[in-house]
Amino acid sequence: MTLAAQKLSHASLEQAAHWYVQLQDEHVTSQVRQQWQHWLDQHGDHQAAWQYVQRVGQRFAPLQAEATGAGRVLREQDARRFSRRSGLKALLVLGASSLIGWNAWRGTTVSGWSADLATGIGETRETRLADGSHLWLGAQSAVDFDFSALARELHLRFGELLLETAPDAQRPFFVDTAQGRMQALGTRFAVCQQGQSTRLTVYDGAVAVCTALSGERRIVQAGQQLDFTAQALGTMRPAQSAGESWIHRRLNAEDMPLAELLRTLGRYRHGHLGWHPEVAQLSVMGAFPLDDTDRALDLLQAALPVRVQRMTPWWVSVEPA
């Protein structure tokens, strides 16, 4: 797989698979072909995704033929839930995304193998550190410890943690991510690394933040939340309880974007959990069980204008209703 293929977004793959299936229809119209061409010309990512899905489609050609025959048999049996188009699209996206997803999963998993403390899918860990501090590590997370006579340091490789620091006048406590360094000022706070940004939520005391590249600094007080990148600090917002509710095996959503909630749920279930770009920014309120993510998805479907599409138990997508 090429580097360009590794960088394709799931949304681009979904769209490319959609057009691929449309164009496979023997009754495809010239209008549909024009719409596909317009989509293709919009962005280089679309062209790369289209080429990649074409290659995957060629690999699945024998399965497509089998699916056609199976579709005829099932229609004779009135199996309404079978859809050749959705089945072909699932094969295409699964074939492409599984390779890309495997590459990303392999990178974080291999990185986690050498970490001082790491968790798997749906697993959380609670521990007391050597200095008496209390650490909770979220699902699919990894952290390293470096305690010396001069300082106490944690490095969050990926995922999230909640930390309640023990007092030590001689040794400051730092938490590092790829985006910057945080110094605890007698505090309880949560840190979540999300792609190219870090989220800091302070529940008690205060935390000093310094970005990794620009060196921008700020002190975040109790009751405040801050997202930052290696180059810049974001806007201060009121702290949300989502940063610590997961230690009780639930996720509290307070005006949370649906994509953010689904991204978290995805760390607590096996398989693929995706969403359509149209529903990504829907606002979510409520408490959702992390021990039963299928129940959480059902609650979302009941509360929002979305439909949970379960192609298989391990391939789930949230679509517009």
Total domain count for the chain?
A: 3
| 103/174 same-domain check | no
What local confidence, expressed as pLDDT, does residue 44 receive? 83
What local confidence, expressed as pLDDT, does residue 56 receive? 62
Higher local confidence (pLDDT), 36 or 220: 220
- What digits encode the pLDDT tens for the residues 29-87? 888 889 989 989 988 888 887 887 777 666 555 544 444 444 444 344 433 433 445 55
Tell me the average pLDDT of the chain.
Answer: 82
pLDDT mean over 146-162: 96
What band does 218 get if pLDDT is binned at 50, 70 and 90? very high
| 161/91 same-domain check | no
Residue 126 lies in a domain: no
| 22/82 same-domain check | yes
How much is the pTM? 0.70
Q: Supply the range of the domain harboring residue 294.
A: 249-320
Task: Name every residue whose Cβ is closer than 8 Å to that of residue 8 and which is 6 or more positions away in sequence.
Answer: 45, 48, 49, 52, 96, 100
| 286/220 same-domain check | no
Residue 86 lies in a domain: yes
Pick from 240, 260, 286: which residue ends a domain? 240
pLDDT mean over 197-219: 97
Look-up: residue for tokens 């917002």? Answer: 237
Pick from 216, 240, 264: which residue ends a domain? 240
| 146/45 same-domain check | no
| 232/263 same-domain check | no
Inter-CA distances, 318 with 131, 136, 261, 280, Å: 44, 30, 12, 9
- What digits encode the pLDDT tens for the residues 267-288? 999 888 888 889 999 999 999 9
Inter-CA distances, 96 with 11, 14, 49, 225, 311, Å: 12, 10, 9, 36, 16
CATH number of the structural domain spanning residue 190: 2.60.120.1440
What band does 11 get if pLDDT is binned at 50, 70 and 90? low
pLDDT mean over 182-188: 95
Dump the DSSP string for 140-167: T-EEEEEE-SS-EEEEEEEEEEEEEPPP
CATH number of the structural domain spanning residue 272: 3.55.50.30
Higher local confidence (pLDDT), 11 or 202: 202
Percent of the chain topping pLDDT 90: 58
Residue 127 lies in a domain: no
Pick from 60, 79, 113: which residue ends a domain? 113
CA torsion 33-320-314-73 (nearest 10°) is -60
pLDDT mean over 165-174: 94
Residues counted in the chain: 321
| 103/197 same-domain check | no
- What digits encode the pLDDT tens for the residues 122-146? 999 999 999 999 999 999 999 999 9
Q: How far apart are the first and last CA of the chain?
A: 35
Q: Cα–Cα distance between 175 and 167 in angstroms, integer?
A: 15
